[in-house]
Structure 1
């Protein structure tokens, strides 16, 4: 039997070749499956997939793959050229970078260059299919990073994938969630002078600016005035809704978590609900590339998008009283030639300035000593629990391990191509409950008292725990070995950890992956709060109607069916052995006063350096109590506004 792994095409020719191979293997590789699918269906499948891949493909007028048409080879800078100077250079075409490139190039007087280490995601089939994100992992489309050994999680190294394509990590994340309003009020308190404008009442407009909320009759109760209607990113309740999420919402209600129609309002996020998604009405994943770098945007003469261009360093002018960022060096590959582009105004990226001692260790000249760079790394740890189920609705076939799984996956794929619906449009994390670990309704008198721990939340109505459900069971980010039976998953997330780590250099090689130390579970607070969360998991497992489709006789310890009867010591060991990342690293270049370890000010300018700003999740003063994609898009929307304001004040743009 040929392994069913969908192709990841990068061009029209490659798409045709790889899809043809896929159909031939799939139809001809197993006579048992051939009888079911049939050659006619296979041909239809091929045509439909080609239509999916090519639909919405932008004109490539702004996409540039030849670095010599962007900048000059280092060493040839004495030659005057007219194509290597830009007003704005954006390093990184991720979630924020695509937003910035689109918004800033709206002003035709600004010449904008976007540098991206990867390529477009629009020809990557798995980035368009909502359930396909896991198939992108461990490919060349991703920076396959690993943490240092974590002493508090059994000495394990944790997989930390970061997308290497336009649109960034959004292809791996379809959850649309603000976080709690008090999170942004906390940013206003922590961000330093001028940070008042980051409070929710002011910052909320940037969410509205990018949203295009599409109502859904199956999910009534959403107040449309809470959401934007004309933004570039379609959000709503499109996508597959499994029986697990329906039963999960009901069970959470029975244990004391109130049901909500919408978790993204000024009332806060506590409650349980179906999650909104970045999936459009056609069943396709929406990213900042597909939403912001449209054919119209890419046809702008003042925008250049350089792909396969990895930034290797920022060039500084140190002749004045403060260093100024004046250019960026980049390369297409490690041993390739270095190219240089100049900027008249600003570079937008995470720079190499940082802790003086750390720079000296690697013999890097100190441009500006900023001890906060790379520090205060925060992430959301999640504990995965896979449960044996009896309904027959598990989507375990997304990771096929049998002939039946392969046939189910093929059927789902054909359904998706024909209708844009079906299991492959699952958000995976379909519904979630947000709650507080000190909620007296939820915890007392149902559990024994736990040690008093500090309140790490951003406000009295802000959660510190999230429990979400998935229609497929997995552990260890999908790398855990589970029995080959039908299962689904419950996943307990610590939203407000007190453990912090750092992100440091391993060498001066810009292509070498950094040293990542999230320092998971290094405080008693984090363990105690997660243990409280696991008590809720145990209650939900035994609460109807979810309990009615769980196989409570399953004894395999790799599953979590035994956890409700586990001792506190066993629960703690399970937490340590199964905690993983939720892919939300933040705060390594946090917005705060420099005296308090901050790296950027309230206008996202790097302290002590002219012409350099940072715009991504690293500027979060502290991690939010929710998912990070929507806040990053809102940060980029606000940053674009700040940049244009500052350039207008300086007379650089009109």
Structure 2
């Protein structure tokens, strides 16, 4: 029985007296009863349908010492993240294609924090997270930055927080720019928005709601496996933020996911379904029916070590072909499995380039320095690293309207006694009705703008006139380079640090959508278990700092507009951590604040980018690694440049498109070989 039906059955079977007000109050305030309930629910979730997923990758392939390898797959997919689950599902639709999906983590269905929207911080710094850090950032107060990366099926979508499960396509012109960057290569035109849009429509089922009747459902997908909508818990402050944005000059946009563009302010569309459950690509694509397919094997706890190659072709004119994947189980035993047709890397913008380099594909000098034989010299592997930076600004709320809202630190750590009842009450409310703080998205509204908009940024706003002129890095006239994200609570350092000021606070978070700072990802050693060296080079260009300064000015402008302005408590005016008086600060003061506070938005991209080889590209428009015809990259690392929005939806669309391209290749090979 599915978990949701089981929970409904339990509650429908309870005696009728518990629905009486006094009895409900007793249950809500009974720690013993709530502990039993929590434990029971946790057990139920652990029994979610994963019976067709093997946690013993040794069953997929014999030990490496067993040389009589007799198990082969047509396609081996490395990484069961956002893209990997899509690929496994779509490719195995053809019963003639044998598919193996290898994932280093486990199923996200076995953990509450990947299913309940507000519990995402509980996956940070756990076995569900790779627990990565950057090198000290020279231009960002020399701080190491924490990079959460999901270690489970569904990847970063179920683990990297509310900021990852906002449903957003990006600007239409972003994809036209992708096509243009291919410079006429065969297949380049297939990456335009007009062509890629059908894949956004293919994977989506939009769930309309009466509160959002201005959304034109005719422009949205209606039959895809990924359910999206506006079902998260929404604070009353969120609606005030949207009105304040409108009064500040950023007009309301009821739907940011159509060809009409993304500029404007709106309540966050989310990967939360009508049952108030988080939607991941595991839950959407690896359904029990899909997992039951005889031609699909999903192996978890399988750490991929490297890809193995053979040179094929005529004498003197050979090229490397990916022929097998080497991996280890959680006990360190090494296995390998053959790939008859293709190997597809879908391990994400961090681990895809790492695996490529460990396998001998990457910058030759770097590989040689670690004693790795060079298979293909591709300097672009691990280069061009881009990420969306985010800077949080804090305001004290005098209304106390959402004093019952759960803070990130409340959810993250062991609850203090004073919070136990609040957490328990919210948990029971969520399981009985699917409402309340546990259904919250945390990031409840977003506002997209351009840094050159004269209505928002008159020149006299800037004390340093030299900052008034900025390079336009957007992909088109209707594309943004700034986002302001509203959270009805304040958090610091991804929730690692409890907010130090008593009372209730909300956050206005500025996001740099089109950075010009580009970093690198390199190997620490030839050991696959060593974390890579991550250097995003945050704020290493003047442009990025200048746009962040403008974004901070926009944050201040919004905070000073009604109805938000009346909520800002003057008691916080002189508290240094709060940003009530940012309008009185100089550009230099704001710059210092930005450099101190910038964090990742969990959107690393472009470390194995689609571009001509001469331009530092790693894959062609068919996502094939240059020089290795049967090795593809399908994840955010192939993005030619970072989109001006959130990355989960583009990754899913890319994976849908890639599945079609791979099928076409296999069909063509089948026909050319006479059907053998």
Please give the alpha-carbon distance, in whole angstroms, between the structure 2 residues aligned to 1:88 and 1:49.
35
- The aligned counterpart of 2:409 is 399
Structure 1 runs of 4+ off > 6 angstroms?
Answer: none
RMSD: 2.0
Within the candidate set 519, 527, 534, 2:537 is matched to 519
SS class of match (2:211): coil
Q: In the alignment, is the contact (CA less than 8 A) between 1:504 and 1:516 conserved in 2?
A: yes
- The aligned counterpart of 1:490 is 508
- The aligned counterpart of 2:166 is 175
Q: CA deviation at 1:483?
A: 1.6
Q: CA deviation at 1:593?
A: 0.4
Gap runs ≥5 in structure 2: 7-25, 346-351
Give a deviation string over 1:395-425, Cα, whole Å, max 9, x none: 3544237544332222111111111111111
Does residue 163 of the first structure (1) align with residue 118 of the second (2)?
Answer: no
Please give the alpha-carbon distance, in whole angstroms, between the structure 1 residues aligned to 2:343 and 2:655.
14
Does residue 64 of the first structure (1) align with residue 54 of the second (2)?
Answer: yes
Does residue 430 of the first structure (1) align with residue 408 of the second (2)?
Answer: no
Within the candidate set 455, 465, 485, 2:482 is matched to 465
Task: Report matched runs for 1:410-421 at 5 Å.
Answer: 410-421=424-435
Mark the CA change 1:242 to 1:322 in structure 2 (over 3 Å): closer, same or farther: same
Does residue 444 of the first structure (1) align with residue 458 of the second (2)?
Answer: yes
Mark the CA change 1:310 to 1:46 in structure 2 (over 3 Å): closer, same or farther: closer
Does residue 345 of the first structure (1) align with residue 326 of the second (2)?
Answer: no
Q: In the alignment, is the contact (CA less than 8 A) between 1:396 and 1:405 conserved in 2?
A: no
- The aligned counterpart of 2:74 is 87
Within the candidate set 323, 327, 344, 2:324 is matched to 327
Q: CA deviation at 1:567?
A: 2.4
Does residue 282 of the first structure (1) align with residue 275 of the second (2)?
Answer: yes
Please give the alpha-carbon distance, in whole angstroms, between the structure 1 residues aligned to 2:117 and 2:211.
20
SS class of match (2:234): coil
Within the candidate set 509, 525, 528, 2:527 is matched to 509
Q: CA deviation at 1:41?
A: 5.1
SS class of match (1:163): coil
Give a deviation string over 1:70-99, Cα, whole Å, max 9, x none: 11222322x142xx2000000000000000
Does residue 200 of the first structure (1) align with residue 193 of the second (2)?
Answer: yes
Q: CA deviation at 1:43?
A: 4.3
Please give the alpha-carbon distance, in whole angstroms, between the structure 2 residues aligned to 1:479 and 1:142.
14
TM-score calculated relative to the size of structure 2: 0.88
TM-score calculated relative to the size of structure 1: 0.91
Q: CA deviation at 1:325?
A: 0.1
Please give the alpha-carbon distance, in whole angstroms, between the structure 2 residues aligned to 1:412 and 1:399.
15
Mark the CA change 1:391 to 1:52 in structure 2 (over 3 Å): closer, same or farther: farther
- The aligned counterpart of 1:269 is 262
Q: In the alignment, is the contact (CA less than 8 A) between 1:396 and 1:487 conserved in 2?
A: no
Task: Report matched runs for 1:21-100 at 5 Å.
Answer: 36-37=29-30, 39-40=32-33, 42-44=35-37, 46-47=39-40, 50-51=43-44, 54=47, 57-61=48-52, 63-77=53-67, 79-81=68-70, 84-100=71-87
- The aligned counterpart of 2:604 is 585
Please give the alpha-carbon distance, in whole angstroms, between the structure 1 residues aligned to 2:200 and 2:521.
29
- The aligned counterpart of 1:538 is 556
- The aligned counterpart of 2:141 is 154
Q: In the alignment, is the contact (CA less than 8 A) between 2:407 and 2:490 conserved in 1?
A: no
How many residue pairs are counted as aligned between the two chains? 618
Q: In the alignment, is the contact (CA less than 8 A) between 2:119 and 2:438 conserved in 1?
A: yes
Task: Report matched runs for 1:104-119 at 5 Å.
Answer: 104-119=91-106
Please give the alpha-carbon distance, in whole angstroms, between the structure 2 residues aligned to 1:551 and 1:438.
31
Q: In the alignment, is the contact (CA less than 8 A) between 1:436 and 1:465 conserved in 2?
A: yes
Q: In the alignment, is the contact (CA less than 8 A) between 2:27 and 2:33 conserved in 1?
A: no
Please give the alpha-carbon distance, in whole angstroms, between the structure 2 residues aligned to 1:369 and 1:424.
49
Q: In the alignment, is the contact (CA less than 8 A) between 2:452 and 2:470 conserved in 1?
A: no
Please give the alpha-carbon distance, in whole angstroms, between the structure 2 residues aligned to 1:344 and 1:252.
55
Q: In the alignment, is the contact (CA less than 8 A) between 1:472 and 1:488 conserved in 2?
A: yes
Please give the alpha-carbon distance, in whole angstroms, between the structure 2 residues aligned to 1:604 and 1:357.
24
Q: In the alignment, is the contact (CA less than 8 A) between 2:149 and 2:156 conserved in 1?
A: yes
Within the candidate set 167, 170, 175, 1:184 is matched to 175
SS class of match (1:142): coil
Please give the alpha-carbon distance, in whole angstroms, between the structure 1 residues aligned to 2:476 and 2:293.
44
Does residue 643 of the first structure (1) align with residue 634 of the second (2)?
Answer: no
SS class of match (2:341): strand
Mark the CA change 1:80 to 1:619 in structure 2 (over 3 Å): closer, same or farther: closer
Q: In the alignment, is the contact (CA less than 8 A) between 2:28 and 2:34 conserved in 1?
A: no
Q: In the alignment, is the contact (CA less than 8 A) between 1:147 and 1:518 conserved in 2?
A: yes
Q: In the alignment, is the contact (CA less than 8 A) between 1:48 and 1:417 conserved in 2?
A: no
Please give the alpha-carbon distance, in whole angstroms, between the structure 2 residues aligned to 1:331 and 1:365.
21
Within the candidate set 211, 219, 223, 1:226 is matched to 219
SS class of match (1:218): helix
Task: Report matched runs for 1:359-374 at 5 Å.
Answer: 359-374=367-382
Task: Report matched runs for 1:273-312 at 5 Å.
Answer: 273-312=266-305
